[in-house]
């Protein structure tokens, strides 16, 4: 803001100190300086706006808005005021006000190119495509420059993309855009590549593939130069759309002759060859095969072509992987089609062996061969691995010792073989003793490999890191088979690995998953922070953090992790608008629909909906009826029980469920079915949480009057519709819970490194679900009592009394499921019980809902009691019988208080036990631990112990605050 050039007029000089204060974050001084200036120059509009910016940044939004509107009403046309108001409205997240600002400016200064341009960009920020089209044309009329004309054309395309009616899009918007471009083509006014790209985009969307192809192949296509092979790629796309396989084949063949390492063209080449074979295509006599030259239309020609590429590759100075992998790809396709011609290409096992000999020292060798291991018969797996091992130069220092690589190339080759062994299931077939021996060997190799990485920077990975990861995967197998110590050894090895390779994201991600599985969240927050997740990663891997933070009782960390994610999602709207504007400025028109799709995908993100819901529930849990009333909390969140802002039908699962490296065989790896089931489970749990939040937000809306209500008044006040909303939401919750229970009956087991399960199973099994549902039914009964009055309501009162009793029983039962040691030491083995921690967290949440409902009961019963006391005084009767509902409520509150006190005592006991645990004296019974590992074992156990201690402390603190709330419930 302060980056201003030479001073053009005295006002710029006067305003400069305010700009400087704002740029330096000194908002109070900026306000003071603006006030001083306004005393001398009352009509200096920009000073008022800069003061408003200072007020906005110091949290005085209402004052800032009022001041800004005061200036905006004057319809300023000076650049300083307009720019300052634009900045202010952007910070207020009110981009629609910027459009009004420049609409007024353009009316006053109709020939200003700058203001018209700003108006167009203002419309772009709010997605007003129709007005953008008009603004673009108005701009072109003032200053006939091509970019402005094509801004208008692009706005037509955006209208077609956003149109609900596809027919309207193809019959009105796109044809109009096409005519506008054709006019420029006829007048020979097309100047830039971006304009040709736009013409191509229009024709493609109109499905005029032949015309689009003509454009690309014609004179206009010569302008397509900014991207490598841009013209060829566009031609290829159109040939595919038109099913012109001869051209597809000839073009891909020609491009492979230029670059025989371009994998995408091998795929197109094979696709086209088999399409031509299926169509029994033959070249026309005495004519060219196709527009693009010679065509290959038989397997023999394809085989010969690949062999030629390999021969050519052997002559090149740099070895190329493409031709060798193409040979394996062709075998794979022939086998899939059931052809008997694959013998012409050779034995896949031998080809893969030769490939390994050539490229085995490259880290990509494993991922290259991974795709083709299906070509090997399972009976040959062990033989194949032995064959590979035989060609790796390993040497042992002495007889009987482990043969180790002498350089990095040999290490990479050996690593590739170990990864393939895991992929082929050789490690999975081992027995426990063999697996432990394999872990020892892998760790020896890992530590030996560290010698090669002594000169590596901290930001670089060690060459042998994968050995450590593979050892951990083997230990995870053992843990799943019931070996409790294995999981602690996993953490030990990963912590050791991280100490040597502090930037290894895989170590961190795996540590996060395992710590969370053990119920220890404290080390996770630091690990996630060190990953330095950027931008979209808050959506793709954020679930690793937000799934466990609150569930394991780390409320402060949960708030923080939700804030991180929400900050990203909220800035997405603003950021994407800026990307779109830049795309218009630089003519990157094809990117604009991509940016819009990206924004929509993030707005419909499952993770966004989850974080938003959980954050609001968490805020209520930590603040409602503690630091602020429930009503105030709900008002500050703008929550309404009637409104559901989650796009249920468009929810997108943007989680990266394959972020962790995995070398498991296909049958053990995460499948598409797992992903589908996980999304289904997450959506069900989100629906339950969203309905719970809306039901809680409905409690303050059930206002009541002191007099018993008659139905007419109730309808007038709109209160009956509020209780109807609550009852409707309660029915929806019942349906969601039933769906969830049916889903869990399938007993789905995700792979250990697959998607983490939701909290739904615990919610049902520990009784929280039944408690919370009963509480919301109680609200309905209390409302009925409030409406009908105390007279003739014996049945309702009895029902309420029974609900109170059953709730206390259920809450006591839930508390019983929280009892037990969180960390248990048995026979030298350490075992954690994270489910007890999760049950405690559910207890706190359920007791909080119970208190919010009790406050509503209190607000209904208190006026009844004061009325009765007035009647007593009037009639001077001391024997006026108290209705049973009062006794029921007071007994219920007393029992809630006792129960909560007992839970707090239990938590205090847990704290004492956790503090007294001397885990460092515990030596895990397995002999696997070496001296250097023992220090990491102590670190790991210390982190888990500290995390559990932190969890129970936070849970205990929150419950104490809730106990204070219970004590205030006295009617």
Residues 651-665, mean pLDDT to the nearest whole number:
95
Question: Could you give the CA distance from residue 895 to residue 901 in angstroms, rounded to a whole number?
Answer: 10
pLDDT single digits (tens) 38-72: 888 888 889 999 999 999 999 898 999 999 999 99
Residue 520: count of CB within 10 angstroms of its CB: 28
Q: In this structure, are strands 823-826 and 829-832 parallel, antiparallel, or unpaired? A: antiparallel
C-alpha 893: how far from its chain's center?
42
C-alpha 38: how far from its chain's center?
48
Least Cα distance to 488 among 932, 920, 936, 931 occurs for 936
Q: String of b and e for 225-251 (b: at least 16 CB within 10 Å)?
A: eeeebbbbbbbbbbbbeeebbbbbbbb
Question: Could you give the CA distance from residue 472 to residue 445 in angstroms, rounded to a whole number?
Answer: 14
Least Cα distance to 381 among 420, 432, 327, 329 occurs for 420
| Global confidence as pTM | 0.91
Coil, strand or helix at 609: helix
- Supply the pLDDT for residue 706: 42
Straight-line distance from the first to the last Cα atom of the chain, in angstroms, rounded to the nearest whole number:
59
Phi, psi of 628 (to 5 degrees): -135, 165
Predicted confidence band at 380 (pLDDT cuts at 50, 70, 90)?
Answer: very high
pLDDT single digits (tens) 890-903: 999 999 999 999 99
- Supply the pLDDT for residue 304: 93
Question: Could you give the CA distance from residue 241 to residue 881 in angstroms, rounded to a whole number?
Answer: 86
Predicted confidence band at 3 (pLDDT cuts at 50, 70, 90)?
Answer: very low
Give residue limits of the domains in the chain.
766-971
Least confident of 272-281, 591-600, 912-921: 912-921
Q: For residue 241, give Cα distances in angstroms to 169, 234, 262, 264, 337.
A: 20, 11, 21, 17, 24
Least confident of 26-30, 131-135, 609-613, 655-659: 26-30
Give the residue carrying structure tokens 């349906």. Answer: 735
Give the residue carrying structure tokens 């099994």. Answer: 765
Question: Could you give the CA distance from residue 575 to residue 659 in angstroms, rounded to a whole number?
Answer: 26
Element (H or E) spanning 830, and its range?
strand 829-832
Percent of the chain past pLDDT 90, that is, above it, reads: 72
Contact predicate 146/192, CB 8 Å? yes
Question: Could you give the CA distance from residue 897 to residue 958 in angstroms, rounded to a whole number?
Answer: 14
Residue 708: which residues within 8 A CB-CB, separation 6 or more? 787, 788, 789
Predicted confidence band at 420 (pLDDT cuts at 50, 70, 90)?
Answer: very high
pLDDT single digits (tens) 86-126: 999 999 989 999 999 999 999 999 999 999 999 999 999 99
Residue 245 scores a pLDDT above 80: yes
Predicted confidence band at 432 (pLDDT cuts at 50, 70, 90)?
Answer: very high
Q: Which long-range contacts (CB under 8 A, 24 or more apart) does 377-385 make?
A: 380/349, 381/424, 381/425, 381/426, 382/426, 384/349, 384/352, 384/353, 384/424, 385/417, 385/420, 385/421, 385/424, 385/426
- Supply the pLDDT for residue 704: 53
Contact predicate 510/494, CB 8 Å? yes
Least Cα distance to 681 among 766, 614, 748 occurs for 748
Question: Number of C-alpha atoms within 13 angstroms, CB side, residue 440?
Answer: 13
- Supply the pLDDT for residue 338: 82
Residues 858-878, mean pLDDT to the nearest whole number:
73
Question: Could you give the CA distance from residue 268 to residue 245 in angstroms, rounded to a whole number?
Answer: 9
Residues 505-534, mean pLDDT to the nearest whole number:
95
Q: For residue 264, give Cα distances in angstroms to 250, 253, 259, 271, 371.
A: 14, 11, 11, 11, 15
Assigned token pair, 727: 């009852």
- Supply the pLDDT for residue 339: 79
Q: What is the DSSP string of 361-377?
A: TSTTHHHHHHTTGGGS-
Measure the CA angle with vertex 919, ends 914 and 924; round to 5°.
140
When the candidates are 1.10.10, 1.10.1660, 1.20.58, 2.40.10, the CATH number that belongs to 766-971 is 1.20.58
For residue 883, the 8-state DSSP code is P
Percentages helix, strand, coil for the chain (3-state, rounded to 5) are 70, 0, 30
pLDDT single digits (tens) 167-184: 888 899 999 999 999 999
Element (H or E) spanning 405, and its range?
strand 404-405
- Supply the pLDDT for residue 493: 96
pLDDT single digits (tens) 157-166: 999 999 888 8
- Supply the pLDDT for residue 627: 85
Residues 562-579, mean pLDDT to the nearest whole number:
88
C-alpha 465: how far from its chain's center?
28
Give the residue carrying structure tokens 């192949």. Answer: 217
Question: Could you give the CA distance from residue 292 to residue 288 in angstroms, rounded to a whole number?
Answer: 9
Residue 254 scores a pLDDT above 90: yes
Helices then strands, each counted (H, E), the chain: 42, 4
Residue 947 scores a pLDDT above 60: yes
Phi, psi of 395 (to 5 degrees): -140, 140
Contact predicate 96/77, CB 8 Å? no
Residue 439: count of CB within 10 angstroms of its CB: 24
- Counted residue by residue, the chain has a size of 971
Least confident of 18-32, 283-297, 522-536, 896-910: 283-297
Q: For residue 171, give Cα distances in angstroms to 151, 176, 335, 713.
A: 20, 9, 46, 54
Assigned token pair, 401: 């010792």
Question: Could you give the CA distance from residue 247 to residue 242 in angstroms, rounded to a whole number?
Answer: 10
Q: String of b and e for 35-62 (b: at least 16 CB within 10 Å)?
A: eebeeeeeebbbbbbbbbbbbbbeebee
Give the residue carrying structure tokens 């167009």. Answer: 120
Give the residue carrying structure tokens 């909290």. Answer: 759
C-alpha 267: how far from its chain's center?
32
More confident residue, 906 or 881: 906
- Supply the pLDDT for residue 711: 45
- Supply the pLDDT for residue 705: 47
pLDDT single digits (tens) 802-822: 999 999 999 999 999 999 999
Question: Could you give the CA distance from residue 48 to residue 45 in angstroms, rounded to a whole number?
Answer: 5
Q: Where are the alpha helices (DSSP H) in 789-930?
A: 794-816, 834-875, 884-916
Give the residue carrying structure tokens 């230029």. Answer: 258
pLDDT single digits (tens) 705-735: 444 444 444 444 455 588 999 999 999 999 9
- Supply the pLDDT for residue 922: 58
- Supply the pLDDT for residue 927: 47
**Rg (alpha carbons) of the chain, rounded to whole number:** 35
Contact predicate 273/302, CB 8 Å? yes
Coil, strand or helix at 826: strand
Phi, psi of 645 (to 5 degrees): -95, 15
Least Cα distance to 886 among 901, 899, 870, 867 occurs for 867
Assigned token pair, 129: 């495509």
- Beta strands (DSSP E) in 318-379 are none
**Beta partners for residue 394, in sequence order:** 405
Coil, strand or helix at 543: helix
Predicted confidence band at 216 (pLDDT cuts at 50, 70, 90)?
Answer: very high
More confident residue, 286 or 595: 595
Predicted confidence band at 244 (pLDDT cuts at 50, 70, 90)?
Answer: very high
Predicted confidence band at 5 (pLDDT cuts at 50, 70, 90)?
Answer: very low
| Structure-derived torsion over alpha carbons of residues 544, 546, 552, 556, reported in degrees to the nearest 10 | 130
More confident residue, 278 or 344: 278
Mean pLDDT of the chain: 90
pLDDT single digits (tens) 685-701: 999 999 999 999 999 98
Question: Could you give the CA distance from residue 177 to residue 156 in angstroms, rounded to a whole number?
Answer: 6
- Supply the pLDDT for residue 439: 96
């Amino acid at each position: 803001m302060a980056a201003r050039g030479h001073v053009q007029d005295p006002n710029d000089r006067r305003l400069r100190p305010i700009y400087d204060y704002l740029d330096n974050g000194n908002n109070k001084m900026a306000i003071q300086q603006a006030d001083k200036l306004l005393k001398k120059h009352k009509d200096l509009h920009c000073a008022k706006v800069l003061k408003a910016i200072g007020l906005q940044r110091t949290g005085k939004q209402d004052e800032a808005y009022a001041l800004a509107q005061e200036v905006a009403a004057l319809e300023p046309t000076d650049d300083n005021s307009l720019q300052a108001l634009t900045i202010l409205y952007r910070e207020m997240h009110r981009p629609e006000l910027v459009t009004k600002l420049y609409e007024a400016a353009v009316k006053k200064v109709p020939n200003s190119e700058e203001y018209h341009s700003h108006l167009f960009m203002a419309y772009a920020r709010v997605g007003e495509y129709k007005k953008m089209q008009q603004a673009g044309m108005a701009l072109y009329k003032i200053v006939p420059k091509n970019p402005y004309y094509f801004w208008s054309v692009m706005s037509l395309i955006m209208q077609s993309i956003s149109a609900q009616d596809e027919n309207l899009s193809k019959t009105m918007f796109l044809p109009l855009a096409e005519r506008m471009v054709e006019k420029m083509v006829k007048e020979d006014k097309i100047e830039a590549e971006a304009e040709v790209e736009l013409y191509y985009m229009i024709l493609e969307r109109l499905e005029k593939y032949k015309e689009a192809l003509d454009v690309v192949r014609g004179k206009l296509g010569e302008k397509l130069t900014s991207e490598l092979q841009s013209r060829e790629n566009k031609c290829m796309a159109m040939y595919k759309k038109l099913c012109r396989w001869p051209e597809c084949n000839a073009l891909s063949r020609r491009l492979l002759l230029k670059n025989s390492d371009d994998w995408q063209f091998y795929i197109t080449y094979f696709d086209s060859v088999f399409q031509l074979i299926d169509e029994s295509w033959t070249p026309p006599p005495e004519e060219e095969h196709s527009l693009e030259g010679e065509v290959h239309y038989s397997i023999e020609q394809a085989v010969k072509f690949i062999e030629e590429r390999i021969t050519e590759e052997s002559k090149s100075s740099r070895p190329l992987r493409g031709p060798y992998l193409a040979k394996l790809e062709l075998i794979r396709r022939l086998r899939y089609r059931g052809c008997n011609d694959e013998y012409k290409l050779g034995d896949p096992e031998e080809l893969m062996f030769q490939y390994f000999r050539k490229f085995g020292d490259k880290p990509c060798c494993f991922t290259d061969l991974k795709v083709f291991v299906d070509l090997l018969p399972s009976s040959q797996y062990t033989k194949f691995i032995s064959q590979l091992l035989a060609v790796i130069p390993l040497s042992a220092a002495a007889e009987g010792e482990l043969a180790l690589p002498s350089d990095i190339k040999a290490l990479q080759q050996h690593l590739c073989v170990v990864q393939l062994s895991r992929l082929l299931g050789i490690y999975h077939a081992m027995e426990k003793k063999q697996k432990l021996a394999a872990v020892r060997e892998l760790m020896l190799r890992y530590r030996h490999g560290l010698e090669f990485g002594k000169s590596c920077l901290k930001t670089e990975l060690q060459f042998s890191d994968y050995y450590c990861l593979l050892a951990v995967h083997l230990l995870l197998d053992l843990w799943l088979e019931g070996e409790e110590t294995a999981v602690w050894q996993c953490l030990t090895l990963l912590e050791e690995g991280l100490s040597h390779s502090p930037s290894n994201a895989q170590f961190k991600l795996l540590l996060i998953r395992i710590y969370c599985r053990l119920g220890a969240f404290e080390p996770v927050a630091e690990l996630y922070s060190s990953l330095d997740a950027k931008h979209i990663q808050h959506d793709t891997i954020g679930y690793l953090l937000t799934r466990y933070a609150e569930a394991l009782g780390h409320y402060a960390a949960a708030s923080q992790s939700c804030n991180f994610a929400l900050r990203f999602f909220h800035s997405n709207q603003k950021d994407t608008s800026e990307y779109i504007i830049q795309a218009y400025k630089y003519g990157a028109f094809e990117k604009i629909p991509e940016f819009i799709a990206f924004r929509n995908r993030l707005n419909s993100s499952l993770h966004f909906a989850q974080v938003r819901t959980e954050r609001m529930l968490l805020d209520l849990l930590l603040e409602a009826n503690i630091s602020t009333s429930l009503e105030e909390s709900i008002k500050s969140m703008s929550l309404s029980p009637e409104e559901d802002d989650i796009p249920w039908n468009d929810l997108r699962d943007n989680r990266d469920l394959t972020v962790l490296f995995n070398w498991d065989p296909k049958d053990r790896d995460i499948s598409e079915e797992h992903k589908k089931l996980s999304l289904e489970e997450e959506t069900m749990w989100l629906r339950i949480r969203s309905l719970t939040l809306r039901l809680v937000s409905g409690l303050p809306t059930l206002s009541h009057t002191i007099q018993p209500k008659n139905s007419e008044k109730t309808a007038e006040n709109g209160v009956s519709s509020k209780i109807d909303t609550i009852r409707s939401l309660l029915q929806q919750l019942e349906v969601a819970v039933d769906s969830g229970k049916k889903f869990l009956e399938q007993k789905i087991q995700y792979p250990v490194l697959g998607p983490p399960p939701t909290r739904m199973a615990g919610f049902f099994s520990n009784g929280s679900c039944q408690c919370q549902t009963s509480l919301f039914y109680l609200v309905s009964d209390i409302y009925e009592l409030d409406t009908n009055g105390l007279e003739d309501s014996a049945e309702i009162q009895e029902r309420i009394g029974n609900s109170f009793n059953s709730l206390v029983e259920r809450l006591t039962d839930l508390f019983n499921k929280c009892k037990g040691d969180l960390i248990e030491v048995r026979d030298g083995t350490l075992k954690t019980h994270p489910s007890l921690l999760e049950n405690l967290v559910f207890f706190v949440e359920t007791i909080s809902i119970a208190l919010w409902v009790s406050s509503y009961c209190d607000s209904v019963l208190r006026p009844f009691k004061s009325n009765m006391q007035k009647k007593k005084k009037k009639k001077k009767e001391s024997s006026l019988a108290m209705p049973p509902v009062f006794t029921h409520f007071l007994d219920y509150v007393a029992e809630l208080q006792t129960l909560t006190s007992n839970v707090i005592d239990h938590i205090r006991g847990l704290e004492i036990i956790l503090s007294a645990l001397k885990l460092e004296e515990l030596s895990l019974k397995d002999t696997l631990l070496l001296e250097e590992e023992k220090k990491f074992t102590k670190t790991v156990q210390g982190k888990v112990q500290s995390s559990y201690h932190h969890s129970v402390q936070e849970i205990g603190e929150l419950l104490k605050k809730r106990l204070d709330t219970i004590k205030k419930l006295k009617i």
